[in-house]
């Protein structure tokens, strides 16, 4: 039976796989379709599409936009976004610059906490695209400032930790609008991180069209909860592993495989958007 993993990162954000490695891995674990959803960038989409075509793997264009509400992070996936649109690419370039600025602010906060890390150590790891906290965490491990990426997040970098820098992000409404403006389908990523289902219904009112019910950190109970919610609000259902390659070796590509008919439903939605 055909299956898909619709939440994968490349080295164009904070994953470690190149497009070629991603396609090779997708083949190895027998996926029919994948989606590249890098953080705030579409740079990885076209090269992965091309290599996918040569190798019989279907690649669905995507993005994972970071937004923030009251200091809590909310990630919005945008499937079938028009990744070649120049206006979109310009806007994403702004977000990319803001990410660089934010890295400097986070490093300043870390310094106040007596953790000294040179910015260049972080940028060296993020050589291909958008930079983020996972790069900081990996640099901290490399410089022996912490023992693991998870320690870096738990002690310093998570949105509830002392070196978190808020206020650099889109609001969820802005993220949803941006995805719709460029012909994408907005889907709430890893809904378990929100822990506030009133807020989820608020996002639906703001134009959200789908929910990532299948996710590597979801228990069966959590998945069932969001499947019910999707049915109640007539949302599309998606799913994926959120594999970041060797940056998070425990999260494997294909550890979440969703049935291909969910991909067909996404495609139908995309077709209906075209006819609007």
Number of chain positions touching ligand AMP (CB under 6 A): 10
Torsion region of 222: left, alpha or beta (phi above 0 gives left; psi -120 to 50 gives alpha): alpha
Residue 214 contacts which entry, ligand AMP, Zn ion, Fe ion, none (Cβ below 5-8 A, type-dependent): none
Binder among 5, 6, 25, 39 for ligand AMP (CB under 6 A): 39
Residue 102 binding Fe ion, by CB under 5 A: no
Between CA 274 and CA 276 the distance in angstroms is 6
In the complex with ligand AMP, which residue's Cβ is closer, 32 or 150?
A: 150
Using CB under 6 A as the binding rule, the residues of this chain from 64 to 83 that contact ligand AMP are: 66
In the complex with Zn ion, which residue's Cβ is closer, 75 or 83?
A: 75
Binder among 242, 253, 262, 266 for Fe ion (CB under 5 A): 242
Contact between 175 and 186 (Cβ < 8 Å): yes
Residue 5 binding Fe ion, by CB under 5 A: no
Stretch that binds Zn ion, among 9-17, 48-56, 102-110, 204-212 (CB under 5 A): 9-17
Label the pairing between strands 58-61 and 33-36.
parallel
Contact between 237 and 227 (Cβ < 8 Å): yes
Question: What is the DSSP-derived secondary structure letter of residue 153?
Answer: I
Residue 75 binding Fe ion, by CB under 5 A: yes
In terms of Cα–Cα distance, which of 57, 87, 243 is closest to 178?
87
Contact between 263 and 61 (Cβ < 8 Å): no
Residue 216 contacts which entry, Zn ion, Fe ion, ligand AMP, none (Cβ below 5-8 A, type-dependent): none
Contact between 76 and 84 (Cβ < 8 Å): no
CB of 214 to ligand AMP, least distance (A): 17
Contact between 12 and 5 (Cβ < 8 Å): no
CA 266 to chain centre: 17
Residues facing 243 on adjacent strands: 8
Residue 68 binding Fe ion, by CB under 5 A: no
Stretch that binds Zn ion, among 12-20, 48-56, 195-203, 225-233 (CB under 5 A): 12-20
Contact between 33 and 60 (Cβ < 8 Å): yes
Residue 14 binding Zn ion, by CB under 5 A: yes
Residue 184 contacts which entry, ligand AMP, Fe ion, Zn ion, none (Cβ below 5-8 A, type-dependent): none
Residues comprising the chain, all counted: 276
Stretch that binds ligand AMP, among 148-156, 195-203, 220-228, 253-261 (CB under 6 A): 148-156
Contact between 37 and 6 (Cβ < 8 Å): yes
Residue 73 binding Zn ion, by CB under 5 A: no
In the complex with Fe ion, which residue's Cβ is closer, 137 or 145?
A: 137
CB of 242 to Fe ion, least distance (A): 4
In the numeric block, which tokens belong to residue 48? 């992965």
Residues in contact with Zn ion by CB under 5 A are 14
Residues in contact with ligand AMP by CB under 6 A are 14, 39, 66, 132-134, 149-150, 153, 158
């Amino acid at each position: 039976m055909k299956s898909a993993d619709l939440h994968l990162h490349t080295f164009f954000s904070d994953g470690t796989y190149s497009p070629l490695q991603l396609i090779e891995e997708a083949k190895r674990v027998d996926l029919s379709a994948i989606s590249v959803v890098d953080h705030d960038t579409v740079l990885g989409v076209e090269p992965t599409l091309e290599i996918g075509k040569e190798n019989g793997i279907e690649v669905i264009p995507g993005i994972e936009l970071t937004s923030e509400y009251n200091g809590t992070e909310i990630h919005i996936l945008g499937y079938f976004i028009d990744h070649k649109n120049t206006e979109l690419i310009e806007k994403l370039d702004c977000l990319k610059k803001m990410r660089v600025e934010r890295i400097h602010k986070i490093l300043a906060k870390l310094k106040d906490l007596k953790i000294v890390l040179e910015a260049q150590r972080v940028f060296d790891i993020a050589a291909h695209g958008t930079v983020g906290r996972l790069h900081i965490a990996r640099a901290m491990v490399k410089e022996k400032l912490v023992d693991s990426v998870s320690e870096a997040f738990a002690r310093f970098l998570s949105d509830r930790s002392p070196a978190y820098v808020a206020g650099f992000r889109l609001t969820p409404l802005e993220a949803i609008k941006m995805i719709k403006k460029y012909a994408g389908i907005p889907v709430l990523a890893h809904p378990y991180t929100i822990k506030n289902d009133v807020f989820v219904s608020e996002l639906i009112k703001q134009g959200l069209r789908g929910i990532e019910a299948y996710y590597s950190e979801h228990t069966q109970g959590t998945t069932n909860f969001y499947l019910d919610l999707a049915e109640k609000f007539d949302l599309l259902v998606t799913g994926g592993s959120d594999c970041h390659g060797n940056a998070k070796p425990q999260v494997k590509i294909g550890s979440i495989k969703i049935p291909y008919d969910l991909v067909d439903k996404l495609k139908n939605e995309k077709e209906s958007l075209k006819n609007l």
